[in-house]
Amino acid sequence: MQSLSDIAPFVKVVEACSFTLAAKQLGLTPSGVSRVVSRLEARLGVRLLHRTTRNVTLTESGAAFYQRCVKILADVEDAERAMATARKTPRGRLRADAPTVLGEMILGPRLPSFLAKYPEVSLELTLRDHFIDPLAEGIDVVLRMADVPESGLVARRLGNCRIVAAASPEYLERHGRPETPADLHRHSCLSYVVSGRPIEWRFRSSRGPLTVGVTGRIHASSGRVLVDAALAGLGIVYLFDPYVRREIANGALEPILIEQSLDPVPIYALYPQGGLVPPKVRVFIDYLVELFTGKERARRGARA
């Protein structure tokens, strides 16, 4: 805005009582400052300054205009200072989207500590198991468990997650332990549902990934429901390991077909690229990196 850029030289001239001193403070030439003030006077249609060879003084109109200009510049400075502070302090609503397993088993239990650390941040967390366009839905951070297609988003790798097949010792004692993925067709398989369809049960084979057809009495879009069913001896589950890690550790469930398990899938945090990353997003990403790095160290320690 031209008028805003013109008032700063005018105020400097008034405060210095000199075009020459004002020009020196602004890094301009005296003639350049004089042209700016003349342009301002022409636009306003009033004379703002009395000019003599020795002095510069305000006219009556100039004095009134000067007071308003000082306030405007002070307001602009305050606004810039406020923005600089906001740029450094995490605050505001953070909208995040994550797969159900990450939200329920990893993020959920640890969100209170994040919010305690950043009291001016509020969080809206949506759990769903399909990819979304964060720009279209106004999401700040998306977590995904898969290789990420080219999307124009920044992708920060957080860690890995393995898919595990497991059943209770009682079920395996009654029905036998599958030795190969092909044996699963004789078992009750409890399938996780995404977008209304059971996920594929996939394993490693000498010819690459192998998809196995399975049947069972329970399909559910909740990992916890399936784990409870497996604990009750109703069948075999095929889930991301955060759902069953504790139960496997305490012996309530036993992993099966370990040698045929697929490689772990990567976990990514995605957020829009370009411009400055808001502090609330930056600290959340840092928190996620610390969280998943700590979990990976803990897993390595448990295996040692």
pLDDT for the residue numbered 209: 84
pLDDT for the residue numbered 129: 83
pLDDT for the residue numbered 238: 96
Return the percent helix, strand and coil in the chain, to nearest 5.
50, 25, 25
Can you give the pLDDT of all 304 residues of the chain as single tens digits?
557 788 999 999 999 999 999 999 999 999 999 999 999 999 999 999 998 877 899 999 999 999 999 999 999 888 888 777 666 788 899 999 999 989 988 998 999 999 999 999 999 999 988 877 887 888 999 998 877 766 678 889 998 889 999 999 999 999 999 999 999 999 999 999 988 889 889 998 888 888 999 999 999 999 999 999 999 999 999 999 999 999 999 999 999 999 998 888 899 999 887 667 888 999 999 999 999 887 554 455 444 4
pLDDT for the residue numbered 149: 65
Q: Is the fold of 92-161+265-303 the same as that of 163-260? A: yes
Q: Where are the domains of the chain?
A: 2-88, 92-161+265-303, 163-260
Place of tokens 């403070």: 25
Q: What whole-number distance in Å separates Cα of residue 268 and Cα of residue 158?
A: 5
Quote the Cα angle for 115-116-121, to 5°: 40
- The CATH classification number of 2-88 equals 1.10.10.10
Angle between the N-to-C axes of helices 279-303 and 108-117, in degrees from 0 to 180, rounded to the nearest 10: 130
CA end-to-end distance (rounded Å), the chain: 65
Q: What whole-number distance in Å separates Cα of residue 238 and Cα of residue 177?
A: 15
CATH topology of domain 163-260: D-Maltodextrin-Binding Protein; domain 2 (3.40.190)
pLDDT for the residue numbered 301: 46
CATH topology of domain 92-161+265-303: D-Maltodextrin-Binding Protein; domain 2 (3.40.190)
For residue 180, give both structure tokens. Answer: 């190969």
Give residue 266's identity as a one-letter amino acid code.
Answer: P
- Give the dihedral sign, CA 104/109/115/117: negative
pLDDT for the residue numbered 298: 46
Q: What whole-number distance in Å separates Cα of residue 34 and Cα of residue 254?
A: 85
Q: What whole-number distance in Å separates Cα of residue 208 and Cα of residue 195?
A: 26
Q: What whole-number distance in Å separates Cα of residue 18 and Cα of residue 10?
A: 10
